[in-house]
């Protein structure tokens, strides 16, 4: 279990970095939004890797089994909320990208900025 613990957090760090790199370095607006969703997915992994208890199962209480160990329900509730926040921000970001495409004709940030600087 010890190896998995460390590996879980390393994957969280790597995914965080991949997402953050995509948000900063990529100039395509949709690629930035994809990077943002990877960035948020990594945070979900951090929360959910907290809730695992050795030998525990999902926190659904079976009446029959008296001393069953359950995993921690609280991070799961937080992440349920965070996933839906992520999808809402994504939907709004995509709507803005569609409007930018109609207004500027491009969804590359540097081309749109170039158009603005002339105006």
Looking at residues 6 to 65 of the shown chain, list those that interact with another protein (rule: CB under 8 A). Answer: 6-41, 43-54, 56-63
Binding-site size, another protein (CB under 8 A): 106
Name which position in 64, 66, 81, 118 contacts another protein (CB under 8 A): 81
DSSP string, 63-91: SS-TT--B--HHHHHHHHHHHHHHHHHHH
Spacing of C-alpha 10 from chain mean position: 16
Name which position in 64, 65, 92, 118 contacts another protein (CB under 8 A): 92
Q: Per rule CB under 8 A, is residue 118 in the interface with another protein? A: no
């Amino acid at each position: 279990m010890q190896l998995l613990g460390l590996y879980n957090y390393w994957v969280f760090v790597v995914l965080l970095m991949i997402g953050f790199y995509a948000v900063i370095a990529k100039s395509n607006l949709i690629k930035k939004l994809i990077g943002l969703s990877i960035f948020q997915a990594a945070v979900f992994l951090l929360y959910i890797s907290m809730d695992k208890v050795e030998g525990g199962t999902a926190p659904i209480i079976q009446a029959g089994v008296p001393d069953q160990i359950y995993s921690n329900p609280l991070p799961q509730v937080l992440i349920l909320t965070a996933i839906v926040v992520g999808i809402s921000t994504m939907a709004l970001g995509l709507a803005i990208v569609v409007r930018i495409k109609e207004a500027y004709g491009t969804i590359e940030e540097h081309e749109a900025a170039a158009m603005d600087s002339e105006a």
